[in-house]
């Protein structure tokens, strides 16, 4: 039987920390039970592990008692790091004993799964350097600033690389659990657990949930001026070459500094501004997709649809039907008829 360690943080907890811990225990318990009905042995023995004998969570409102200290866990197969709470202003916030234990277990062959902001803890150990990682879209800016060596893939719901798994934010940790059950058990068990927990299986992206606001905490005043110009003129045809000349940059230097500061090329940044404006109009107005397309500066319907799908993961019409109340009600009535 494999060993599953669910890490209980000493501090930096929030409501989602508790949900991640309880959700993990629930999901893998269901998977073990279902495996038993198939005449198979449970895959995991689960233990809540930590540094302290008791951990106060959510400002002392709840208390969890780890079943074992990390110092007693010599070998584990899978470690779950739940979402954390609070602000992350420096890299060195993780207790060195926890950091050393995570690095040591990974070196021995353990796999590690981070839920939402739990990725900050793993990134602080340097185990995520050079690897893909997803976090909640609201955390992307601060995460990128603290850990530029990590390949942030904010559009992805789940990343899977070299025995390290991460996922986006909120309650999408449930999607990660279903994904892990599929890997450690089998597809049949994953489908069963998805039905019991009522979690959509095979969801790949969190892009349609993300709200683009632009990375501004980078200290490059000239790039910030370029961002502000784009934000006020995204509906016009903006030439990146002319903008770089206006700011007295060569195009290659401008692109390099813009990418370093924001994580996007100037063209990508402009696209995201246009699509974010289109999303808001699709959510809240009765305007057609074509009307909104023209308003945000596109004249080619095919190009608009392709960029919209690339950024959000779905088409403009599907987005409108999903998030616009009037459109959803009309679609429901048409289906009923």
* 260: CATH: 1.10.10.60
Residues 228 and 189 in one domain: no
What are the C-alpha distances in Å from 291 to residues 55, 274, 278, 287, 316? Answer: 54, 13, 10, 6, 12
Residue 215 lies in a domain: no
Residues 180 and 126 in one domain: yes
Residues 180 and 270 in one domain: no
Total tally of structural domains belonging to the chain: 2
Q: State which residues form the domain around 146.
A: 2-209
pLDDT at position 176:
95
What are the C-alpha distances in Å from 214 to residues 64, 231, 268? Answer: 38, 9, 11
| Domain-terminating residue out of 156, 185, 209 | 209
What are the C-alpha distances in Å from 140 to residues 112, 162, 168? Answer: 20, 22, 10
Task: Give CA–CA dist 156/143, Å, rounded.
Answer: 15
CB 138 within 8 A of CB 169: yes
pLDDT at position 15:
82
The pTM of this model reads 0.69
Task: Give CA–CA dist 244/218, Å, rounded.
Answer: 18
What are the mean pLDDT values of the chain's consecutive 10-residue runs (337 residues total)?
93 85 96 94 95 72 84 95 86 90 96 95 95 88 89 87 91 93 94 92 69 75 89 86 87 90 88 90 90 92 93 90 70 50
pLDDT at position 109:
96
Residues 34 and 171 in one domain: yes
pLDDT at position 76:
97
pLDDT at position 62:
76
CB 35 within 8 A of CB 189: yes
Task: Give CA–CA dist 196/184, Å, rounded.
Answer: 18
Residues 177 and 245 in one domain: no
Residue 57 lies in a domain: yes
Residues 63 and 194 in one domain: yes
DSSP character for 217? T
pLDDT at position 210:
64
Residue 336 lies in a domain: no
pLDDT at position 209:
64
């Amino acid at each position: 039987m494999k060993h599953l360690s669910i890490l209980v943080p000493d501090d930096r907890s929030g409501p989602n920390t508790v949900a991640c811990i309880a959700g993990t225990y629930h999901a893998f318990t269901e998977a073990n039970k279902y495996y038993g009905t198939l005449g198979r042995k449970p895959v995991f023995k689960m233990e809540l592990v930590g540094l302290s004998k008791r951990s106060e969570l959510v400002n002392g409102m709840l208390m969890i008692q780890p079943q074992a200290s990390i110092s007693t866990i010599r070998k584990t197969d899978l470690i779950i790091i739940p979402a954390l709470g609070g602000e992350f202003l420096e890299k060195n916030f993780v207790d060195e004993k926890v950091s050393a234990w995570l690095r040591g277990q990974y070196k021995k062959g353990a796999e590690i799964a981070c839920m939402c902001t739990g990725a900050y803890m793993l990134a602080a150990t340097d185990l995520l350097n050079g690897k893909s990682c997803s976090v909640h879209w609201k955390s992307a800016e601060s995460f990128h600033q603290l850990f530029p060596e990590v390949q942030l893939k904010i559009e992805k719901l789940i990343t899977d690389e070299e025995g390290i798994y991460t996922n986006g934010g909120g309650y999408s940790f449930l999607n990660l659990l279903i994904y892990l059950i599929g890997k450690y058990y089998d597809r049949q068990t994953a489908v069963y657990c998805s039905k019991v927990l009522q979690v959509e299986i095979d969801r790949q992206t969190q892009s349609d949930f993300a709200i683009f606001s632009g990375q501004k905490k980078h200290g490059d005043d000239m790039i910030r001026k370029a961002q502000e110009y784009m934000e006020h003129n995204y509906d016009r045809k903006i030439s990146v070459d002319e903008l770089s000349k206006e700011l007295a940059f060569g195009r290659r230097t401008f692109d390099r500094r813009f990418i370093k500061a924001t994580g996007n090329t100037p063209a990508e940044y402009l696209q995201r501004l246009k699509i974010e404006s289109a999303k808001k109009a699709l959510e809240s107005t009765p305007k057609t997709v074509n009307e909104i397309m023209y308003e945000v500066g596109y004249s080619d319907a095919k190009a608009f649809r392709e960029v919209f799908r690339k950024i959000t993961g779905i088409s403009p019409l599907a987005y409108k039907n999903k998030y616009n109340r009037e459109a959803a009600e009309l679609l429901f009535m048409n289906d009923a008829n």
